[in-house]
Amino acid sequence: MSEKVKLTYKDKEYEFPLLEGTEEEKGIDIKTLRAQTGLVTYDPGYKNTGSCKSEITFLDGEEGILRYRGYSIEDLCEKASFLEVAYLLIFGNLPTAKELALLNTEIRKESLVDEDLKSILKSFPKSAHPMGVLSSLTSGLIAFNPSSVDIASESDLREAIIMLLAKFPILSSWTHRKVKGLPLNYANTSLSYEDNIAHMLFKLPHQDYEASPVVVSALNKLLILHADHEQNCSTSTVRIVGSSHAGLFASVSAGISALWGPLHGGANHVVIEMLEAIKADGGDTKKYMQKAKDKNDPFRLMGFGHRVYKNFDPRARIIKKAADEVLNELGINDPVLDIAKGLEEEALSDPYFIDRKLYPNVDFYSGIIYRALGIPTEMFTVMFALGRLPGWIAQWSEMRKNNEPIGRPRQIYTGENHRTI
């Protein structure tokens, strides 16, 4: 017999079933709460609310575990490419060699963007924020591909998925090159998916470009680490927009806008801004570590600790090594990156930070890598979006295939009672 939870209200007892996931997570099924009791729950930010059942990503913040479709993030970063992980998230299993070859062929066929999209790009001033540009370009894809996805047709759904996987890296690179004032690059279909991303971002018109294996490896890991993260703000946005039966492109565009916020995808951007501020004040890392310990000091140490991972961020351990490799490979002399290394050393040896488990997180190290690669600070969140794309696609697809109802949260009204004029 399944377990139940009892609720007593106005001397009457109600029972609600207890659900259990495959990792023994438990939740109370309150679908009938309002119908039975007239009550709703109040949970600002949905911190205690399971909005869906999902087979995609398992996250245990207390134990520092992150798995995609059952595979640990450590194994995937060591043994898989970003495109393989994208396939895993979207289709449920790691691809065979034949499946991966087919996916690459399909993506190469779609690796063109309608030239009229350039008109949208040109209409933005150079000062426009890259996330606004990327969101608009993604929405623009709808105009050039107006038919909605028939979710019951596997071929229609796959076509939309391939189209987005092929064109989104191009739009991301165009956004980057708009910021840098560089001519636009097109996809090079002779390259791997990951090498092609580096090619479109970094190739200059007056010289050949061959990406460093260390740089491509670091980009590959960063994209994998950001590929999905359970029901976060942008993913929940993609699902709730899609629950209205809005199309895949429109739903992803909404997710981009959600990711833009400094409390979500903008965190690595804020890390670099903090490092710049420390540099402008003389670069004394010990001084700022003391400020971080002072409860009365308004200074906040960005890029340390995580609101979900209570012990350590498993992604940070992986990307720290990649950050060290990139800095050694490129031999960059940058005072801001020196400050970052100084803060890291202090935090990893200071009992105050060790006892509170305030370790550098993925935002700290990803910011360092992007800066070392010459990616402008305002472009960091675009790179985050590029990594998160497979997760958004997978979550949207799962929601639609499960025929989930339209998202419609309730509220507790606290305004005026009935008034007359």
pLDDT one-digit tens code per residue, 364-388: 889 889 999 989 999 999 999 999 9
Would you say how long the chain is, in residues?
A: 421
Domain span at residue 47 reads: 4-65
pLDDT given for residue 392 in this prediction: 98
At residue 196, φ and ψ (nearest 5 deg) are -65, -35
pLDDT given for residue 378 in this prediction: 92
pLDDT given for residue 111 in this prediction: 94
- Please check the confidence at residue 1 and state whether its pLDDT lies above 80: no
- Please check the confidence at residue 315 and state whether its pLDDT lies above 60: yes
pLDDT given for residue 2 in this prediction: 77
- To the question of pTM greater than 0.85 for the whole model, the response is yes
Check: CB of residue 173 under 8 Å from CB of residue 200. yes
pLDDT given for residue 129 in this prediction: 93
Once rounded to an integer, what is the mean pLDDT over residues 306-332?
A: 87
- Residue 302 lies inside a defined structural domain of this protein: no
How far apart (Å, rounded) are the C-alpha atoms in residues 301 and 270? 10
How far apart (Å, rounded) are the C-alpha atoms in residues 51 and 390? 20
- Please check the confidence at residue 289 and state whether its pLDDT lies above 90: yes
Nearest to 256 by CA among 139, 362, 107: 139
How far apart (Å, rounded) are the C-alpha atoms in residues 214 and 372? 12
Helix (H, G, I), strand (E, B) or coil at 12: strand
pLDDT tens digits, one per residue of 80-95: 999 999 999 999 999 9
Q: How does the average pLDDT of the chain come out, rounded? A: 93
- Residue 214 lies inside a defined structural domain of this protein: no
Q: How buried is residue 100: exposed, middle or buried, by Cβ count under 10 Å (0-12/13-18/19+)?
A: middle
Nearest to 153 by CA among 401, 391, 396: 401
- Please check the confidence at residue 74 and state whether its pLDDT lies above 80: yes
Helix (H, G, I), strand (E, B) or coil at 239: helix
Nearest to 160 by CA among 73, 248, 101: 248
Once rounded to an integer, what is the mean pLDDT over residues 52-57?
A: 97
The CATH number covering residue 26 comes to 2.20.28
How far apart (Å, rounded) are the C-alpha atoms in residues 392 and 247? 12
pLDDT given for residue 198 in this prediction: 95
Once rounded to an integer, what is the mean pLDDT over residues 319-331?
A: 90
Once rounded to an integer, what is the mean pLDDT over residues 116-133?
A: 92
> Which pairing describes strands 4-9 and 57-60: parallel, antiparallel, or unpaired?
unpaired
How far apart (Å, rounded) are the C-alpha atoms in residues 377 and 197? 18
How far apart (Å, rounded) are the C-alpha atoms in residues 260 and 311? 26
- Residue 37 lies inside a defined structural domain of this protein: yes
Nearest to 173 by CA among 207, 148, 204: 204
How far apart (Å, rounded) are the C-alpha atoms in residues 392 and 255? 8
pLDDT given for residue 225 in this prediction: 96
- Please check the confidence at residue 409 and state whether its pLDDT lies above 90: yes
Query: Which amino acids are annotated catalytic?
Result: 306, 363
- Please check the confidence at residue 10 and state whether its pLDDT lies above 80: yes
- At 108, the amino acid letter reads R
Nearest to 389 by CA among 180, 159, 227: 227
pLDDT given for residue 268 in this prediction: 83
- Residue 163 lies inside a defined structural domain of this protein: no
Residue 230 corresponds to which tokens in the numbers above?
A: 């359970």
- Residue 358 lies inside a defined structural domain of this protein: no
How far apart (Å, rounded) are the C-alpha atoms in residues 172 and 382? 7
Look up tokens 């709730």; give the residue.
Answer: 240
- Residue 345 lies inside a defined structural domain of this protein: no
- Binned at pLDDT 50, 70 and 90, residue 278 comes out as very high
At residue 214, φ and ψ (nearest 5 deg) are -65, -40
Q: Which residue has the higher pLDDT, 199 or 311?
A: 199
The number of domains in the chain is: 1
pLDDT tens digits, one per residue of 151-183: 889 999 999 999 999 999 999 999 999 999 999
